[in-house]
Amino acid sequence: MANRTIIKVEGLNLFYEELQALSNVNLDIAEKEITAFIGPSGCGKTTFLKCINRMNDLVPGCVIEGKISINDVDIYGNINVDMLRRTVGMVFQKPNVFPMSVYDNIAFAPRGHGTRKKADLDALVIDSLTRAGLFQEVKDRLHKPADELSRGQQQRLCIARALAIGPEIILMDEPTSALDPISAEIIEGLCRELKENYTVLLVTHNMQQAARVSDKTAFFLLGQCLEFGETSQVFSHPQNEEFQKYISGKF
Amino acid sequence: MTAAFFSVVTIASIFVFLTSGSFMAIRKIGFLEFIFGPAWNSNPSDTLVGEIAGSYGILPLIVSTFASAIGALIVGGVIGFFTGVYLARFCSKKTSPYISQLINLLAAIPSIVYGYFGMMIVLPLLSYLSPTGESTGTLALSIVLGLMIVPTVTALTKSSLENVDESLYECAAALGLSHDKAVFAIEVPSVQRGVMAALLLGVGRALGETLTSVMLAGNKVNYPTSLFRSIRTIPGNVALEIDGAGELQLGALIGSALVLFVLVLVVFGMYNIVKNSKKKQQGQGIFAKLWANTVARFTKASKVVSIVSTGITIFVLSSIVVLILLNGAPNLGRQFLTGTYSGGYDTIAAPIVTTMMYVLLTALVSFPIGVCTAIYLTEYTSRQKKGRITTLIEIAIDTLSGIPSVIVGLFGVVVFADILGIGTSILAGCLTISLMIIPLTSRATQEALRLVPESYREGAYALGVGKARTTFELLFPSAIPGLLTMVILAVGRMLSDSAAVMFTMGGVLGPLPTGYLSQGSTLSTAIYVLGYQHEYYGEAYATASILIIIVLSLNLLSTFILNRFRRSSRLRKA
């Protein structure tokens, strides 16, 4: 059963000054699935991810051509960027908790977005932590500094923080590459649970991870998307020659 | 945004003030006569029209200013440089941080205290050496200005040596060079740019010293033909004559300040060029050759010089503190600190109150502007690609922070006190000093904000939290230790300033101030008024003691805050 397309990318080109980092990327990303993005370093995976919540706006000299629409709205049209980023949450490579308590880390953004009542915030914090599978571990430490948590817990806190703003889409930029294997496994499991309710875009260096977790896989090389399809299909019957080489480790 | 332009406007108006204020006078005197005239003998009754009774040539002043700055460079540069080398490369790893800490503390001592120390201790000592018994002049001034810049030169030399690529040393050691040889022949030449930059920064400071110069130079307008001949520097001249200056005289004084301004700008321009220049081929410059032929050959001797210099630095600088405290302590009584004024000079209750009022208002004026400038520069402009406006603002801030206090003071006394009609008063002083504090706070706040990890910003923006909220609710709390240090630094600077305070607040010792329009003295200027103008030596020592104690404790406090912050951030990483 094919899910509805939520993100539609058409003819995307991206330049950093003179350097072309993405060329002519066309992708339809389906709702409530995990789409993995793999490829060698510098191939444009992360750049692509950052186009979707317009984090590239913060990079000077970055020029974007083409069209990205989410739920049929052109996100480079006349929209509020902060609203966009509330629809599209993001988790970074390294856990970047704020220097505040666990509770405040999650409540920081919702407070600014208008949720002020303590009862509402409490409920939101508990709900987000539960969804991120962290609540049981930290329920007695909600008001302790967040940087006292382990790295794996910090990363899940970052995921909880992203969930608390009520996104539809979650971007994950190599969320496990800075973690030990056990923490990584927990996060992978979490991804599978998250796709019940969210659309997940996962950038990863780890092909096994892509194969284990994702529904669809996209392979990037030198800024181009060379292969895109059902993960099982892509790995068992790779079409693109470069991709064949890449998955068999001849790179 | 508006705040950010403040520095640009200030620097522009100071420049306009200096040129327009002096233009008519210099035209009347004649440009060549003004710059190259051999005698300065002002007459307050001279106006812009009619006959000139006095003579207004500033060449001897320029030469004297330069001579004392160069002398300071020789004294302070050599001692500071070798001390830096010793601390970075010869001192044991255990003791080095303590000595560096001590020297950093001593760097915070206000220059007026150095000046007073020079007047009370250095002058009598030098009079034994002097053939005429007169000890004021180039030598005395050079020694004291030199001591003043020792901490700066030491710190910069040390840090640039510590940043030398370790492989360079390993390579030298692997070739069988001794430790001394590796340091002096290989490592030191590789940091010549850093050392040059340190020296230029020192010269910049020495050029602008004002009241110190008045206390030590002797103040007769002469060419510095002998080390003990009485001289007068440009800033010293301004300080001596600004009170009651006639129309033409004031114009000429402003003109001399313009010359000083240009000199300082040239020095700081050179500093920036040296600091930012691409690494030159090693061993090309004249200095490098001179170095290779002399010091590098006698590495044993150089090592001895380093040890001796460090000894001198520690001994002299700490004896300044000790002597001042010892001489000051007996005078620190209740009458002195809190007594009511009765016409004499036996109480400094008024300066204490004035200082508090002054620090409070100056902080209220300058901190918001400085902080807003910093926020604009770090958070609202792109970092990688600087626009023209950003560059302009940064240049203005740098220039403004390098301008000698005497020039800003002159600007303040004419523009705030006279033209705006505030009169010489605490208020005029606060506004004037704010002009110098703003660049300082702005720079320090920028540093503090830059230390906040980029990932916080990224994280907050990715959550759709707006820029203003990210800055004020996330970045600011994270930058608190840095901001506290900024506040302490700024207060220290306010307490240290003497020349501008002297001009704009009137420099009188009287009853307690009744409001911000009263005239008054801060603790710094009180030292000058008591010790130099009225010869109340014991009282001046006591005032200097109080000032030293305040400044040193502020400094310790900021070190403490920084250390705690570093420790906690290290824990976080582990």
Query: What average pLDDT does range A220-237 have in this prediction?
Result: 87
CA distance B376 to B394: 11
Starting at the edge strand found earlier in the chain, the sheet holding A5-16 runs A19-30, A5-16, A62-70, A73-74
Which residues in B have their CB inside 8 Å of a CB on A? 382-385, 453, 455-456, 458-466, 469, 473-474, 477-478, 572
Per-state percent for chain A, helix, strand, coil, to nearest 5: 40, 25, 35
Nearest Cα to Cα of residue B78 among B302, B340, B364, B325 = B302
Residue A86's domain comprises: 5-247
Distance from CA of B468 to the nearest CA of A (A): 11
What is the model's pLDDT at position B338? 78
- The contacts of residue B13 (CB under 8 Å, 6+ apart) are B411, B415
- Residues B263 and B23 sit within 8 Å (Cβ to Cβ): no
Q: What is the pLDDT of residue B277?
A: 66
Cβ neighbours of A60 in B, within 8 Å: 382-385
Give me the sign of the Cα torsion angle B243, B249, B255, B256: negative
Question: Could you give the CA distance from residue B545 to residue A177 in angstroms, rounded to a whole number?
Answer: 58
Distance CA B482, CA B84 (A): 26
The percent of chain B in helix, strand and coil, each rounded to the nearest 5, is 75, 0, 25
Burial class (CB within 10 angstroms; exposed 0-12, middle 13-18, buried 19+) of B544:
buried
Cα B254 from Cα B411, distance rounded (Å): 9
Higher pLDDT, B331 or B436: B436
Do the beta carbons of residue B103 and residue B313 sit within 8 Å?
yes
Q: Which of B456, B463, B478 sits opposite A109 (nearest CB)?
A: B463
Least confident of B279-293, B341-355, B558-572: B279-293
* ipTM reported for the complex, 2 dp: 0.74
Banded pLDDT at B183 (limits 50, 70, 90): confident
Is the pLDDT reported for residue B385 higher than 70?
Answer: no
Closest in A61, A92, A108 to B458, CB measured: A92
Cβ distance B398 to B446 under 8 Å?
no
**Residue A93: closest CA among B460, B471, B467, B458:** B458
Kindly report the number of other CB atoms within 10 A of residue B567's CB atom: 10
A30-44, A62-76, B45-59 — which is least confidently predicted? B45-59
**pLDDT digit string, tens, across residues B357-383:** 999 999 999 999 988 888 888 877 765
Instruction: Please judge whether B461 and A84 are an interchain contact, meaning their C-beta atoms are less than 8 angstroms apart.
Output: no
d(CA B136, CA B231): 8
Quick one: tokens of B216?
A: 């030590």
Structure confidence at residue B258 (pLDDT)? 92
Give per-residue burial for B44-63: e unless 16+ CB within 10 Å, then b. bebeeeeebebbbbbbbbbb
Range with the poorest average pLDDT among A51-60, B191-200, B383-392:
B383-392
Question: In terms of Cα–Cα distance, which of B244, B215, B243 is closest to B231?
Answer: B215
Which among B382, B384, B459 has CB closest to A98?
Answer: B459
Is the pLDDT reported for residue B288 higher than 70?
A: no
Interface contact A96-B458, CB threshold 8 A: yes
| A161/B463 touch (CB, cutoff 8 Å), yes or no | yes
Question: What is the 8-class DSSP label of residue A98?
Answer: -
Using a CB–CB cut-off of 8 Å, the residues of A that contact B are 53, 55, 58, 60-61, 81-86, 89-90, 92, 94, 96-100, 108-109, 112-113, 147, 158, 161-162, 165
Residue in A158, A176, A169, A152 with CA at minimum distance from that of residue A5: A169
Residues of B in contact with A169 (CB under 8 A): none
Q: pLDDT value at position B144? A: 92
Element (H, E) at A119: helix A118-131
Other C-beta atoms lying within 10 Å of the C-beta of residue B477:
13
The reported pLDDT for the residue numbered B537 is 85
CA dihedral B42, B47, B53, B59 (to 10 degrees): 40
Contacts of B464 in chain A (CB under 8 A): 81-86, 109, 113, 165
Q: For the segment A64-123, what is each residue's pLDDT rounded down to a tens digit? A: 888 888 888 888 888 888 888 888 888 888 888 888 888 888 888 888 777 778 888 888
Q: State the average pLDDT over residues B301-306.
A: 83
Beta strands in B211-269 (DSSP E): none
Q: Using CB atoms, which residue from B456, B463, B477 is nearest to A162?
A: B463
Number of separate domains in chain A: 1
Residues linked to residue A63 through DSSP beta bridges, in sequence order:
A15
Question: CB of A100 within 8 A of CB of A109?
Answer: no
Q: Which pLDDT value is given to residue B432?
A: 92
User: Chain B interface, mutation test: which of A16, A82, A124, A168, most B Cβ atoms within 10 Å?
Assistant: A82
Parallel, antiparallel, or unpaired for β A199-203 and A169-173?
parallel
Tell me the chain A residues in contact with residue B455 when contact means C-beta distances shorter than 8 Å: 92, 94, 96
Distances B26 to B20, B23, B258, B403 between C-alpha atoms, Å: 10, 5, 11, 22
Read off the pLDDT of each residue in B438-450 and give the average, rounded to a whole number. Answer: 87
CB-closest option in B383, B462, B474 to A90: B462
**pLDDT of B573 strictly over 50:** no
User: In angstroms, rounded to a whole number, what is the distance separating the alpha carbons of residues B307 and B305?
Assistant: 5
Give phi and psi for B479, each to the nearest 5.
Answer: -95, 10
Contacts of B72 (CB under 8 A, 6+ apart): B141, B142, B145, B146, B148, B149, B202, B203, B206
Is B497 in contact with B436 (CB distance < 8 Å)?
yes
B321 exposure class (CB count in 10 Å sphere: 0-12, 13-18, 19+): buried
Judged by CB atoms closer than 8 Å, whether chains meet at A108 and B463 is answered as yes
On the question of pLDDT at B133 being above 80, the answer is no
Q: Which of B458, B463, B465 to mutate to test the interface with A (most CBs of A within 10 A)?
A: B463
Contacts of A118 (CB under 8 A, 6+ apart): none
Residue numbers in B near A53 (CB within 8 A): 462
The residue of chain A with its CA nearest to that of B385 is A60
Percent of chain B with pLDDT over 90: 9
Token pair belonging to B346: 């036996």
Nearest to B562 by CA among B489, B471, B490, B492: B489
Reply yes or no on whether the pLDDT at B225 is more than 90: no
> Tokens 């690609």, residue?
B385
Domains of chain B and CATH, by start: 57-330 (1.10.3720.10), 335-573 (1.10.3720.10)
Average pLDDT over residues B69-78: 90
Give me the torsion for CA of B87, B88, B92, B96, rounded to 10°. 50
Question: Is the pLDDT assigned to residue B571 strictly greater than 60?
Answer: no
Mutate to test the interface with B, among A59, A92, A96, A172 (most CBs of B within 10 A): A96
pLDDT of A49 > 80? The answer is yes
Overall size of chain A counted in residues: 251
Residue B421: which region, alpha, beta or left (left: phi > 0; alpha: psi -120 to 50)? left
Chain B residues lying within 8 Å of A109, measured CB to CB: 460, 463-465
Strands A5-16 and A19-30: antiparallel
| Neighbouring C-alpha atoms within 13 Å toward the C-beta of B272 | 10
What is the separation of C-alpha B357 from the centre of its chain, rounded to a whole number of angstroms?
23
Confidence check: pLDDT of B281 > 50: no
Closest residue in chain B to residue A81, using alpha carbons only: B464
The pLDDT of residue B574 is above 70? no
How many A-B residue pairs are in contact by the CB < 8 A criterion?
A: 69
Q: Is the pLDDT of residue B291 over 70?
A: no
> Cβ atoms within 10 A of the Cβ of B566, count?
11
CB contact under 8 A, B465 and A112: yes
Would the pLDDT of B290 be above 80? no
Contact B409, B432 (CB under 8 A): yes
Band of pLDDT at residue B282, cut at 50, 70 and 90: very low
**Cβ separation of B572 and A147 shorter than 8 Å?**
yes
Q: Has residue B312 got a pLDDT over 80?
A: yes
* Cβ–Cβ < 8 Å for B224, B126: no
Average pLDDT (B32-60) is 83
List chain B residues with CB under 8 Å of A92: 455, 458-459, 462
Contact B463 A61 (CB under 8 A): no
Tokens of A63: 């020029």
Q: Which residue has the tokens 């705006």?
A: B420
What CATH number does residue A239 fall under? 3.40.50.300
Lowest mean pLDDT among B194-198, B287-291, B345-349: B287-291
Cα distance between residue B119 and residue B126, in whole Å: 10
Q: How many H-runs (helices) and E-runs (strands) does chain B carry?
A: 29, 2
> Scanning every residue of chain A, which has its alpha carbon at the shortest distance from the alpha carbon of B464?
A82
How large is the average pLDDT for residues A145-174?
A: 88
**Tens digits of residue pLDDT in B481-491:** 888 888 888 89
Mean pLDDT of chain B: 83
- Section A33-39 average pLDDT: 91
Q: Name chain B contacts of A99, Cβ cutoff 8 Å.
A: 456, 477-478
**Model pLDDT for residues A165-220, shown as the tens digit of each residue:** 888 899 999 888 888 888 888 888 888 888 888 999 999 888 888 888 899 999 98
Label the pairing between strands A88-91 and A169-173: parallel
- Chain A residues whose CB is inside 8 A of the B456 CB are 96, 98-99
- Residues on chain A touching B573 (C-beta within 8 angstroms): none
Q: Is residue A174 within 8 Å of residue A205, measured between CB atoms?
A: yes
CB-based burial label for A20 (10 Å; 0-12, 13-18, 19+)? middle
Are residues B411 and B253 in contact, defined by beta-carbon separation less than 8 angstroms?
no
Cα–Cα dist A238/A217, whole Å? 11
